[in-house]
Amino acid sequence: MSELNAQQVVDYLQHHPDFLIQHPELLAQLELQQQAQGATSLVHIQQRQLREHNTLLKNQIASMNKYAAQNEQVYRLFSLCHQQLCSNNDFDALASNLQDIICSNPDISDCRLVKYDTKYAQLVEHRLSNSGHYLGRINQQERDLLFSDTAQSTAIYLIGDINKPIAILAFASNNANHFEPAQDTLFVLDFVVALQSRLLELA
């Protein structure tokens, strides 16, 4: 009879999790051998694994709570922004009021709503041609178009079609990691659609 390899033993124990319970004498031998070598017992190993798994779950829950709180804050901000679409009949006034609202978030250092100009053509082609929005860091030339030198990460949204841009909505943060590509943009994109409709009315 050929010898079992380690994987076969693992597979067998996985399919028979009560094997060691049904053979306590073997479990005792394994524990004695582990102790003789100065290592922890199987029970201790299992306890450690459970603690590590529990720590992982706690970290995941904390991360989910953090993102939930951030999403709630974003939702509240853009609810106020939606209200501005109805109460402003002037582009400059709308841009100023949006800036006040968005910058009330301490993580956002600047907010710009600017009418499209050909000076933004390279920025649009480089950052916005694929999805119409970009989150992350930008280079110095792009930063000079929209923000101050303190801007470390940005969120930029194209208002209008790539072939016929209307405006650019952009946010900046002094935190280099605040805006990143993996972030959820649902609330912002919903506002961008409403903003585009409003700007077409004001044109």
Which domain, by its residues, includes 24?
8-36
Helix axes 186-202, 91-102, angle to 10 degrees: 160
Q: Looking at the structure, do residues 80 and 16 belong to the same domain, yes or no?
A: no
User: Is the residue at 2 inside a domain?
Assistant: no
Same-domain status, 22 and 62: no
The model carries a pTM of 0.68
Residues 104 and 32 in one domain: no
**Which residues contact residue 174 at a Cβ distance below 8 angstroms, ignoring those fewer than 6 apart?**
109, 150, 151, 152
Q: Is residue 100 part of a domain?
A: yes
Task: Give the pLDDT confidence score for residue 6 in this predicted structure.
Answer: 86
Domain count within the chain:
2
Pair (26, 95) in one structural domain: no
What's the pLDDT score for residue 1? 46
Question: What local confidence, expressed as pLDDT, does residue 74 receive?
Answer: 77
The two three-digit tokens of residue 7, written as one number: 């994987």
What is the pLDDT, as a whole number, of residue 61? 85
> Does residue 72 belong to any structural domain of this protein?
yes
Mean pLDDT in order along the chain per 10 residues (203 residues): 78 84 69 52 74 84 74 82 90 94 92 95 93 93 88 94 94 91 86 94 85
Residue 186 is assigned to a structural domain of this protein: yes
The answer to the question of residue 102 being in a domain is yes
